Amino acid sequence: GQQVMQIPQYQHVQEGEDFTTYCNSSTTLSNIQWYKQRPGGHPVFLIQLVKSGEVKKQKRLTFQFGEAKKNSSLHITATQTTDVGTYFCAGRRNNDMRFGAGTRLTVKP
């Protein structure tokens, strides 16, 4: 069955450093979605990528979808304390969507 692997599991950075989380699927995806979950909160939708090689930006966040549509990344430039939380990818293939286990980001001021 479809599997979505996400690395790293944890990342601790100093405020101002960059951060990247990677998502890899065992199968070609129809699309991939990214979510952010603050500590004690619920997942909040960030973005959806659909096209091969697609790159989208939201302020300091850059999202990429691989050419083969099997991997994706989320890069945060110059992290801030407000970026703390767990970032999840969710890969969709046909009528099945699987979430990665998430990358938990902590930021030291």
Partner 1 sequence: DAGITQSPRHKVTETGTPVTLRCHQTENHRYMYWYRQDPGHGLRLIHYSYGVKDTDKGEVSDGYSVSRSKTEDFLLTLESATSSQTSVYFCAISLDYLGETQYFGPGTRLLVL
Given the rule CB under 8 A, which of 10-18, 51-59, 65-73, 86-94 is the region that contacts partner 1? 86-94
Interacting span for partner 1 (CB under 8 A) from 10-18, 41-49, 51-59, 61-69:
41-49
CA atoms of 54 and 63, how far apart (whole Å): 8
Compare residues 90 and 107 and give the one whose CB is closer to partner 1: 90
d(CA 52, CA 55): 9
Q: Which stretch binds partner 1 (CB under 8 A): 12-20, 61-69, 74-82, 98-106?
A: 98-106
- The tokens for 76 are 């945060």
85 binding partner 1? (CB under 8 A): no
Mark residue 94 as left, alpha or beta (left: phi above 0; alpha: psi -120 to 50; beta: remaining).
left
The DSSP call for residue 38 is -
- DSSP 8-state secondary structure symbol assigned to residue 39: T
Considering the complex, what minimum distance in angstroms separates the CB of residue 43 from partner 1? 5
Binding site for partner 1 (CB under 8 A): 6, 9, 33, 41-45, 48, 88, 90, 92, 95-102
